[in-house]
Chains A and B, each alone.
Chain A
Amino acid sequence: MSKRVTIDPITRIEGHLRIDVEVDQGQVQKAWASSTMWRGIERILLGRDPREAWLFTQRFCGVCTTVHALASVRAVEDALDLEIPINAQYIRNLIQIAHALHDHVVHFYQLSALDWVDVTQVLKADPVKASAIAESLSDWPENSAKQMAAVKARVAGLVGSGQLGPFAHGYWGHPAMKLPPEINLLAVSHYLQALEYQRYSNQVVAMLGGKTPHIQNLAVGGVANAINLESEAALNVDRLYQMKSLLDKIVSFVQNVYVPDVCAIAGLYPEWFSYGAGVTNYLSVPDLPLDGKSTSFELPGGFISNGDLSSLKPITGQKDATWRKAVSEDSAHAWYKGSGGLHPWKGETEPDPTEWDEDKKYSWVKAPRWEGKPAQVGPLANVLVGYASGNPLMVKWTDAALDKISAIAHVKATPAMLHSTLGRHGARAIRAAVLSDLAIKQWQLLTDNIVKGDTTIFNKPEFPKGTVEGVGFHEAPRGTLSHWVVVEDGIIKNYQAVVPTTWNASPRDSDGTPGPYEASLLRNPIADAEHPLEVLRTIHSFDPCMACAVHMFDPKGNNVARVKVL
């Protein structure tokens, strides 16, 4: 007898992800992903000055502020064929790297780790053994038995108080939780340390962006960071070295804590390399431009079909002819008028809500398609495209992570295993390691260029009469983001943001083909329908970032996800 399980945020205000799964014989047989809130936020931009659009777009999402700012200025620069100074590229690159490292670490420790780590098991852990295991994984200095014992005591205090604090709603003691007590202790210890390292990333963003979470330093045509080695108020050598010391700390945490933790946890749950593949077409765009015209990039982009790395079709830049044509959004199963796939420059956002109906319309998310096919985006796409391209850093860190996982799991981990729930976590850690190396490289490029005497930061944009179209893309922490703008006589005429979570949380399209979340849940095991931990594992592995539009303090707390089993 099949059961229907719905995980749905109760709120009527915040737009979030609703997941419906049909479970039979202990496995998911069918799945639907929907967003419960209309995201027509782009309409705020119509009729505005394109030079200011980024100030509004960074409010689309409270978690991904900088990424929407960056994609927006790139879109307008693309429409104008405007080259920007190389200092501006390096400064933007450093901001995006610092933001991504913050985001990946937060996602893993604060949102996902507790799907795998059973906090209540910490009480059974031997701190001396936990310390020894940690020291075998990396030479991070904050893994002493004394530190582990202090964390264990902190957890014991929490459990003793009868309140589980941040862990109150974990699926503790769930049959799918399998880590040894010492690994649970190690993970909770790093969960606490991660809080401190997240702040360092924010400090880097604030140093360059002026403020965080909403940066102030972008401009269509470059950045607004005054560079003057003689001035206290400008970007100078002192500031550059302050930033470097923060970057060094973040790099060390990523490489010595985050990456080994993900490898250890993955190595102890090897069966999760066989669940959650879903859609294995992967889309990733090139990013970290190395010239003012954005024609060469630190990390490559491309499209991979059906999980076959040899099928890689590179995307060379925003001017790439295939890229500019291939993206469309289908609203056959989304609450918008029309159904056929429209190119984003022609995109419409006219709402047409009905009841939730799995055969008709059931989501506020449109279905983005690449040449008509669904595509998975995110760190896994980024890493697979980088690996298939032979990018040296991607190859180095992917091979290192697979070796580490192999040693712990006692099975040979291969790139093919990355098409999975755990593969997405592994890839996020691999990407963070690559970006951490590139943080230092970009810092050096910026410093060398400034010391050489180049202080240029801005090229003034000129808007022509008539209509121009532009696209700005960015390989954001959750994957390929693109902003599509149409400018007429210097005023915004159309604006569409195709965000990473739209690709992944896509509903079915006109052909009935499911999106990545929906496909990834098929055949996931479900040990206990009342406690669908396994569904959360797979969905969290994508790092969902839903409609992001509104927050309100609700004293009644009506924004708690509820699980309903029918």
Chain B
Amino acid sequence: MARCAIYGIGNILMGDDGVGPAVVRYLEDHVRLPDDVVLEDLGTPSLDLPSYLAGHDAVIFVDAVASDAAPGSIRLYTREEIAATPTGIRISPHEPTINDALILLDFAGTGPRDVVLVGVVPETMDGGMALSAPVAAAVGRAAGMVMEMLADQAA
């Protein structure tokens, strides 16, 4: 089982929501990763997310984040910050969040030990396949932060 997974989350059809998958594509094109690192664009897996997390020691997410900061800003979220997001009743399989998946796997005893989220602030989430200029400009920087996180895992 792979040691570390890098997962882009988001919908490439919905503007800047596709930034997570865009960072995954950037890494595929520019970086040669060790064989035991999984790199995948997971789209919007919601209820299916636990399937992709179980068994990994460390997971790095890249996702759009809701924030008042300027579009294209990048911020790291620790596992504690992810764990602080509220959970609640879920009506459809699209609602469970990253936090729901981690809580479930912790209960099962198969959750990743280290989790970090590289968040990029979107400008627009309207339908369309293009990233806005500030978010497109952030893709390379976000990819660089993912590589730093990966180096921390190896250290």
Does B114 sit within 8 A of A, measured CB to CB? no
B128 touches A552 (CB 8 A): no
A552 touches B108 (CB 8 A): no
Could you tell me the distance between the alpha carbons of A409 and B118 in the complex, rounded to whole angstroms? Answer: 51
B88 touches A560 (CB 8 A): yes
Interface residues of A in 317-331 (CB under 8 A from B): none
B10 touches A106 (CB 8 A): no
Task: Say whether, besides A44-B128, A211-B40, A552-B10, A111 and B94 are in contact (CB < 8 Å).
Answer: no
Stretch of A60-68, A138-146, A337-345, A437-445 that contacts chain B: A60-68
State the majority secondary structure of interface residues on B.
Answer: mixed
Q: Chain B residues with Cβ under 8 A from A158's Cβ?
A: 107
Binary contact readout A8-42 vs B (1 if CB under 8 angstroms, 0 otherwise): 01000110110100000000000000000000110
Could you tell me the distance between the alpha carbons of A107 and B46 in the complex, rounded to whole angstroms? Answer: 12
Minimum C-beta distance from B112 to chain A (A): 14
Binary contact readout B88-109 vs A (1 if CB under 8 angstroms, 0 otherwise): 1111111111111001111111
Task: Say whether, besides A214-B41, A555-B67, A111 and B51 are in contact (CB < 8 Å).
Answer: no
Minimum C-beta distance from A245 to chain B (A): 18
B65 touches A555 (CB 8 A): yes
Does B81 sit within 8 A of A, measured CB to CB? yes
Could you tell me the distance between the alpha carbons of A166 and B94 in the complex, rounded to whole angstroms? Answer: 16
- Cβ 8 A contact of A554, one of B14, B46, B65, B91: B65
Does A56 sit within 8 A of B, measured CB to CB? yes
A sample of 30 cross-chain residue pairs with beta-carbon separation below 8 angstroms, ordered by A number, consists of: A9-B95, A14-B94, A62-B44, A63-B44, A63-B94, A102-B51, A110-B50, A168-B87, A169-B87, A195-B54, A195-B104, A198-B48, A199-B54, A202-B52, A539-B91, A546-B92, A549-B11, A549-B14, A550-B14, A550-B125, A553-B9, A553-B63, A553-B97, A555-B66, A555-B81, A555-B84, A555-B85, A557-B85, A557-B99, A561-B95
Instruction: Name B residues whose Cβ lies closer than 8 Å to a Cβ of A.
Output: 9-14, 17, 40-48, 50-52, 54, 61, 63-67, 77, 81-82, 84-100, 103-110, 117, 119, 122, 125, 127-129
Instruction: Name A residues whose Cβ lies closer than 8 Å to a Cβ of B.
Output: 7, 9, 13-14, 16-17, 19, 40-41, 43-44, 56, 59-63, 65, 102, 106-107, 110-111, 154, 158, 165-166, 168-169, 192, 195-196, 198-199, 202, 211, 213-214, 536, 539-540, 543-563
Q: Top 10 A-B pairs ranked by shortest CB distance? A: A62-B44, A560-B88, A557-B86, A551-B44, A557-B85, A554-B66, A553-B63, A550-B14, A166-B104, A544-B92
